[in-house]
Structure formats: C-alpha cells, structure tokens
Amino acid sequence: MKIIEVKNYHALSMLAAKIIIDEVREKPNLVIGFATGKTPLKLYKNLVGAYRKGEVDFSGIKTFNLDEYYPIKQNEYKKSYRSYMSKRFFSDVNIPKENIHLLDGNSKDIAKSCKDYENQIRKNPIDLQILGIGINGHIGFNEPGSKKDSKTRVVKLSPSTIKRNKVSYTKALTMGISTIMKSKKIILLASGKSKAEVIERMIKGKESEKLPASFLKNHKDITVIVDKKAGSLI
Ligand code: GLP
C-alpha cells in the first residue's frame, strides 16, 4: 500500500487528475472505475478542464461506476449517482455513451442486472479504480459486514450512511469487495479531518469485515492519497 500525503484538497484533486490523465494518454482505451461522493468533485472539475484545453481525449475509455441508490425515486433522482455523474462529468467530456456503465437503480430484475454488471466488468477488466472511503470504512456501498468475496449486489445502507449522505434511500447497489479487488490499480482518495480516524484504522488495523476498506491492504497496486488533515493520525 503506497501512501501519498499532499497539502490539501486542491493538491489531492490535482494529483488524482494527473494520474488519470497520464494513464489515459498511455492507454487510450483505459477502463476506469469511477466513484461519487464529495471527495472526487474537484477531480471531475479538473478532468473536464483538462479535456476542454485539449490535454486529454476520453473517446477511447470505458467506465464503470461503483454504486447507486436503489430503487431510484422520481423525486430524488437528483441524488442518484447517474445524475451526479452526468452533471459533474459525463455531459462535459467525450466518452461515447455506449462506453459508460452505471448500475441501474430502476431495474425490474435486480439480480440479473447485478450479474450482467459483474460479467461486463469481467469482460472489460478495470485498469484503474478510483475510490473514496466512508467514515465507517465503507468502499462503494460495501458497508461493515461485507464479505471479502462479495460481488455486485443489493445492500442495506447503514443508518450513519443514510444520515451523512442526506438521503431517504435505505438500499443501494454496489460493486462487491471482490469486484473492486480485481481492478489492476486502485487509487483511494481521502480528504479532511472527518476521514482521519478511518484512514488510521485502515492503515494500522488488521484486515476485517468490520472495516471493508481494510481488505484493500492486500491489493498489489493501491495508492492512498490523503491530504494533511485526513492523514493526521498516521
Ligand atoms: C459514499 C459513496 C462512496 C463514497 C463514500 C465517501 O456514500 N457510496 O462511493 O466514496 O461514501 O463519500 P464522500 O466522498 O462524500 O465522503
């Protein structure tokens, strides 16, 4: 596990964007796993900025998003991750629509959708997975108690996640721990004081279902990028 500490959120977002841009330049058909939440907001801004300046071309990449609320409610569509990704990133760059994969929070056959998603990832292995981390140690929506061999599935959200994310959704879809672990390279981003304790537990503690992010310790190519505040206890 490689750990990089940068000064602040601005530097973290710059570095994460640079890593993605360099990888896309090196491999124009890169398969990228994207995350949502507050942490990658500036990263997406930077990627859009670089695209507008002609510094990167996304026309050959494929994307898979990590997670989504389920079932999507009409009145809360704006809080869906599909809406987030479209607004913050996809509508401003040149990724072909057919190359974008999102979990379907409207699916009528959710078991089949999850299986199909897992198969799509198997056929298009993720080269670079971007992750955030929940304060309870979740990655994607793999809440505490998630198994190491878990795959893409429906999960129950923990009360703390519902409160923190300010949603009324109680369930979600997420890539599993094993799905995430199959990614060739992982970049986990953490910013701010609220993430200091979970980063400490992930790095210093042992692997445990109680802290799903701890499974990442066994990944062979993971870089954790923290800013000073998130890294203050390590
Ligand atoms: C959310 C998402 C995750 C995200 C994490 C951290 O609930 N399901 O994909 O990485 O929690 O979110 P934030 O960056 O807003 O702290």
pLDDT for 146-198, tens place per residue? 999 999 999 999 999 999 999 999 999 999 999 999 999 999 999 999 999 99
Q: Are 203 and 224 a contacting pair, CB within 8 Å?
A: yes
- Residue 178, amino acid: S
Q: What is the pLDDT of residue 92?
A: 98
Catalytic residue status for 67: yes
Q: What is the pLDDT of residue 191?
A: 98
Catalytic residue status for 55: no
Q: What is the pLDDT of residue 73?
A: 83
Task: Give the distance (Å) from ligand 1 centre to CA of residue 134.
Answer: 5
- Phi/psi for 74 (5° steps) reads -50, -50
Which of 67, 104, 127, 227 does the annotation list as catalytic? 67
Spans in the chain with pLDDT lower than 50: none
Task: Give the distance (Å) from ligand 1 centre to CA of residue 233.
Answer: 20
Q: What is the pLDDT of residue 75?
A: 84
Q: What is the pLDDT of residue 114?
A: 98
Query: Which strands form 222-227's sheet, in the order they lie side by side?
Result: 2-6, 222-227, 185-190, 128-131, 31-34, 62-65, 100-101
Q: What is the pLDDT of residue 76?
A: 84
Catalytic residue status for 143: yes
